[in-house]
Amino acid sequence: YARQGIDVPRKQRKISIHKIELLDIDLPFAGFTVVCSKGTYIRTLCHDIGKKLGTGAHLFKLERTAIGPFSIKDSLSLEELSPLRKQEGFLNKGVYTMDSALSWMPEYRVTDSQVGDVQNGVPVSISGSQDFLDSLAASSGIRVKSPEGLLLAIGSFQPIRKTVKMDVVFG
């Protein structure tokens, strides 16, 4: 549409800018960092800032430096990771388990009798306090675990049926 000069109206959404910090100005460029909620379009933020300043603006370069609990400062390049694989316990030095990588998601432990259903991708009934169920409804995924704490699947909560639908099943 843009190449044809057609404006597409942007749907407004509620976002949060937790922090915005100007790093440098070298006209016509300005560098800044933003800590924001999911759903924030940085390209749109740049456009809106330019509009407020009366000059216009667009995004020239974008680098994601963190998402959830993960920061680029804690990452390893392939060159740094390669020699580690020959060392004893290398998985503890640079690789997250799937469970720890998804630790921002709430977890639900199924009963022994539900494990087979989870492994076959069958939705399972879920119980808990209303606060717990509300937290599941607000989440973008649920870590579904065995009674012993083994990650079995990633699911999504179906509030009307009070079930978890399996989106990804492991093993």
Locate CATH 2.30.130.10 in the chain: 98-169
Please name which of 147, 170, 48, 49 lies closest in space to residue 99, comparing C-alpha atoms: 170
pLDDT given at position 91: 61
CATH topology of domain 2-63: Alpha-Beta Plaits (3.30.70)
Residuewise pLDDT in 10s, the chain (171 residues) = 667 878 777 778 888 999 999 999 999 999 999 999 888 999 999 999 999 999 999 999 999 998 877 889 888 888 887 777 777 666 666 677 888 889 889 999 999 999 999 999 999 999 888 888 888 888 889 999 999 999 999 999 999 999 999 999 997
Instruction: Please choose, from the candidates 161, 150, 155, 149, the residue with its C-alpha nearest in 3D space to the C-alpha of residue 120.
Output: 155
Determine the pLDDT at residue 89: 65
Predicted local distance difference test score (pLDDT) of residue 75: 83
What's the burial of 108, exposed, middle or buried (CB within 10 Å: 0-12/13-18/19+)?
buried
CA-closest candidate to residue 124, choices 102, 108, 137: 108
For the segment(s) 98-169, the CATH number from 2.30.130.10, 1.10.340.30, 3.40.50.1240, 3.30.420.40 is 2.30.130.10
Q: Cα separation of 75 and 88, whole Å? A: 20
Of 112, 121, 116, 124, nearest in space to 158 by CA:
124
What is the sign of the dihedral through the CA atoms of 139, 127, 108 and 124?
Answer: negative
Note the pLDDT of residue 55. Answer: 92
